[in-house]
Structure 1
């Protein structure tokens, strides 16, 4: 049994895939299938061993993303975290400023331009 988080978009999953692969250096797209109208039937966004399923809803849904659910990404290096924070927060909203916190060496929380919530963390290895 496997758990695959899924993000459902409203016709802009392809733009989101491009944005995420540019924002997060280790991310890559696999198994992308499109419909005749160009929307994403399904695609996988890989972060190392982690997989995020992304689709465009074929039905107009009356809801969107909420920050109460977020993608929590652990980074080993500050450069990759800072780059992801900069790119994901552009045209989005900062929920918590990037910086050092008691619980993390470096951490920032953003809602990107698509409304997806990202918590980006470089953990403290000394605690």
Structure 2
């Protein structure tokens, strides 16, 4: 891992390595870096994974097995700006599968509790439309959705 930019540290409860492996199976452009293990000095069990460095889509992460004290919340999420509807469907299914859950307005929580926003192309343009009426109608439609349906958002924006 390079020394430039930012590295996001994600605090896990003993499953950081499994999470890194999962993210590498979901995001095709990724790799595992160094894995640090607890020693006899603790606080974790000697030999167990303390940290795992990984990279997905050019973003550097460290998974830290810190314990149950600090669970993930929706206050922090990662946006996935998709190039087409098929890619949005792929990420939606991959991140909600195997214990993940759907949220509202394009948000999902993966099986580790990390929140993601799956953004299909055109969604941001609709809610940021320079015409306040179009933006409001698109946003109102989005607020009723789980997975974002850009065609429906566009129909709402275009409605009189």
Q: TM-score, normalised by structure 2?
A: 0.60
Distance 1:95 1:75, change over 3 A: same
Match of 1:121 among 105, 119, 122: 119
2:55 maps to 45
How far has the Cα of 1:8 moved from its partner?
Answer: 1.7
Give the superposed CA RMSD: 2.3
Unaligned 5+ runs, structure 1: 98-107
1:18 aligns with 2:16: no
Match of 2:73 among 66, 69, 88: 66
Which protein is bigger by CA-based radius of gyration?
A: 2
Q: TM-score, normalised by structure 1?
A: 0.73
CA deviation map 1:53-91 (0-9, x unaligned): 12223x435111001110111121322221111011121
Unaligned 5+ runs, structure 2: 39-46, 126-160
1:6 maps to 9
The structure in which a higher percent of residues are strand is: 1
How far has the Cα of 1:118 moved from its partner?
Answer: 0.5
CA deviation map 1:5-48 (0-9, x unaligned): 22121210111112112223x3312323241624152312221x
CA distance in 2, matches of 1:27, 1:95: 25
Q: Secondary structure at the match of 1:5?
A: strand
2:157 maps to none
1:93 aligns with 2:101: yes
Q: Does structure 2 conserve the Cα–Cα contact (< 8 Å) formed by 1:70 and 1:116? A: yes
